[in-house]
Amino acid sequence: MTQNRPLTHVRVAIVGTGFSGLGMAIGLRQRGEEDFVLLERAGDIGGTWRDNTYPGCRCDVPSHLYSFSFAPNPNWSSTFSPQSEILDYLRDCAERFGVMPHIRFDTEVEGAAWNDDQQLWRIETSTGPLTANFLVAAQGPLSEPSLPEVPGIDSFEGTAFHSGQWDHDHDLTGARVAVIGTGASAIQFVPEIQPRVRRLHVFQRTPPWVIPHRNRPLKSWERTLYRLFPPAQLAMRAAIYWARELFVLQFRNRAVGRLLERIPLTHLRRQVKDPELRRKLTPGYAMGCKRILPTDEWYPALTKPNVEVVAEGITEIRPHSVVAADGSEREVDTIVFGTGFHVTDVPIADRITGRDGRTLADVWQGSMHAYKGTTVAGYPNLFFLVGPNTGLGHTSIVFMIESQIAYVLDALGTARRSGADTLEVREDAQSAYNAELDRMTNDTVWVSGGCTSYYIDRNGHNSALWPTFTWPFRRRLREFDRAAYVLRSRARAAADEREPAAVATA
């Protein structure tokens, strides 16, 4: 087992064991590749679905689609599965596809530097160094909890935690709780904790667009059908996929968006009768500009007598209270931060150093960019999964992950077949690709919808989202396009006396 022996060198090192890392590892094994390792900082697999254990946590894309295409699960209990089932599913995949022996747990990647002389990655981890020919960064788009920059945040003397690090030892029964943030996690856990707490102050910066949820338990005959006749589940998956692709029209066309806004506005009207509360909860920006949230429980929870929505924003946290922008102060025992993640400023960017000794964070300057969301000029043999501009607002990220995995596998196969030691995307190919992405983003709701969101980086640039339908992404990544790359071979370079530098073979 990889876990038990000291590692010095592997062909492929993968950072992370969420959907991306596990999917990559499974792909490698299916191609007969065993010379790889998964480096995981935690003591278990699962990424997002290991870390987010807050009450009510579940996916908001149907499970038939939010799962690997090659591993359908006929046993989902409901159409949108709870966290524990998704985690069990990932564990099952890791076991079934023989990935577990390749994982090094409790091993955080602290740095990775490209060594151009040896043409490999030198990786520093919390359990020692290793080298790898190829590095796959699958560290997750939403794996680093983000806290707001509020004066006094460290002075709070009660219990405070982030939704992605839920403190299950802390009993909320009878507590006075402040929830900060009203995003995808908060709308799931607030209805769960509301009946237990004494007082719940929900601090909202911007109200989300909330649509009715279609979650329902799967009937036993449906599960039997999927078990006995797997094509039925594949057909369901395909139907969900194409139905969700239609949402893209709404991101790209304001008239369609305005028409569809009637759905959440009706939802709000039906569930919230108090005009003042309804006013607070009515978004003042175009739907889709921030993630659209499906729930039937959020609004009813906010109407309960022990709940207050504070729409003023926070200016300060004191040892026992939270202060809103209008100067009002709420005494609380507990603060739960539902404030999201570092999405466009991923910490791994500070840890990866390229050919010229610069970190990705230095090169990106706050705006992540890559070629096809996967490779970066100046960083040979590095592949991102769920890298820049691969995030989605409307469908399953697993579709993007599988597209990228196919591309990386083809790249590795190309390197092997052509005898190349390194693959590096050409600067001009990367620039042209990103210019195209910018053009595609220009007329979307994300940049013109009148909101601030985690999709947009500190420079006001969309560096998180893929800006259109997902099937063109899959088509673009179907094959490794070697014309966009420089392939180098040390052996060939050494053999060519007239050109002592490395030889480009593309």
Ligand X SMILES: Cc1cc2nc3c(=O)[nH]c(=O)nc-3n(C[C@H](O)[C@H](O)[C@H](O)COP(=O)(O)OP(=O)(O)OC[C@H]3O[C@@H](n4cnc5c(N)ncnc54)[C@H](O)[C@@H]3O)c2cc1C
Task: Work out whether 57 is an interface residue with ligand X (CB under 6 A).
Answer: yes
3 state DSSP class of 13 = strand
Binding ligand X by CB under 6 A: which of 12, 15, 132, 322? Answer: 15
Alpha helices in 346-418, H assignment, sequence order: 360-364, 397-418
Task: Work out whether 25 is an interface residue with ligand X (CB under 6 A).
Answer: no
In whole angstroms, how close is the CB of 84 to ligand X at the nearest point? 13
Nearer to ligand X, 140 or 373 (CB): 140
Nearer to ligand X, 15 or 486 (CB): 15
Task: Work out whether 41 is an interface residue with ligand X (CB under 6 A).
Answer: yes
Task: Work out whether 138 is an interface residue with ligand X (CB under 6 A).
Answer: yes
Q: List binders of ligand X among 82-121 (CB under 6 A).
A: 108-109
In whole angstroms, how close is the CB of 63 to ligand X at the nearest point? 9
In whole angstroms, how close is the CB of 60 to ligand X at the nearest point? 4
Site string for ligand X, 347-366 (x = CB under 6 A): -x------------------
Task: Work out whether 141 is an interface residue with ligand X (CB under 6 A).
Answer: yes
Q: Please tell me the distance from the alpha carbon of residue 142 to that of residue 132, in angstroms, as a whole number.
A: 25
Task: Work out whether 139 is an interface residue with ligand X (CB under 6 A).
Answer: yes
Any bridge partners for residue 180, and if so which?
Answer: 203, 337
Q: Which stretch binds ligand X (CB under 6 A): 42-50, 226-234, 296-304, 491-499?
A: 42-50
Any bridge partners for residue 344, and if so which?
Answer: none
Which residues touch 290 (CB under 8 Å, ≥6 apart)? 183, 206, 208, 209, 451, 453, 455
Binding ligand X by CB under 6 A: which of 37, 93, 123, 142? Answer: 142
Task: Work out whether 14 is an interface residue with ligand X (CB under 6 A).
Answer: no
Q: List binders of ligand X among 368-407 (CB under 6 A).
A: 385-386, 396-397
Q: Please tell me the distance from the alpha carbon of residue 342 to that of residue 140, in angstroms, as a whole number.
A: 10
Binding ligand X by CB under 6 A: which of 18, 72, 338, 449? Answer: 18
- Contacts of 306-309 spanning 24+ positions with Cβ under 8 A: 306/194, 306/197, 306/198, 306/199, 306/200, 307/190, 307/194, 307/200, 307/201, 307/202, 308/199, 308/200, 308/201, 308/202, 309/202, 309/204, 309/277, 309/280, 309/281
Any bridge partners for residue 104, and if so which?
Answer: 39
H or E element that contains 260:
helix 254-260
Total residues in contact with ligand X, by rule CB under 6 A? 33
H or E element that contains 38:
strand 36-39
Nearer to ligand X, 48 or 422 (CB): 48
Task: Work out whether 182 is an interface residue with ligand X (CB under 6 A).
Answer: no
Task: Work out whether 60 is an interface residue with ligand X (CB under 6 A).
Answer: yes
Task: Work out whether 316 is an interface residue with ligand X (CB under 6 A).
Answer: no
In whole angstroms, how close is the CB of 30 to ligand X at the nearest point? 18
Binding ligand X by CB under 6 A: which of 185, 271, 344, 375? Answer: 185
- CB atoms under 10 Å from CB of 398, counted, come to 19
The interaxial angle of helices 83-96 and 19-30, nearest 10 deg, is 20
Nearer to ligand X, 176 or 291 (CB): 291
Instruction: Check residue 22 and give left, alpha or beta (phi > 0: left; psi -120 to 50: alpha).
Output: alpha
Count the residues in the chain.
Answer: 506
Task: Work out whether 140 is an interface residue with ligand X (CB under 6 A).
Answer: yes
Residue type, 248: V
Q: Which stretch binds ligand X (CB under 6 A): 16-24, 128-136, 266-274, 441-449?
A: 16-24
429 in Cβ contact with 484 (< 8 Å): yes
Q: Which stretch binds ligand X (CB under 6 A): 135-143, 210-218, 252-260, 405-413?
A: 135-143
In whole angstroms, how close is the CB of 486 to ligand X at the nearest point? 27
User: Residues in the site for ligand X, rule: CB under 6 A?
Assistant: 15-21, 39-42, 47-48, 52, 57, 59-61, 66, 108-109, 138-143, 185, 348, 385-386, 396-397
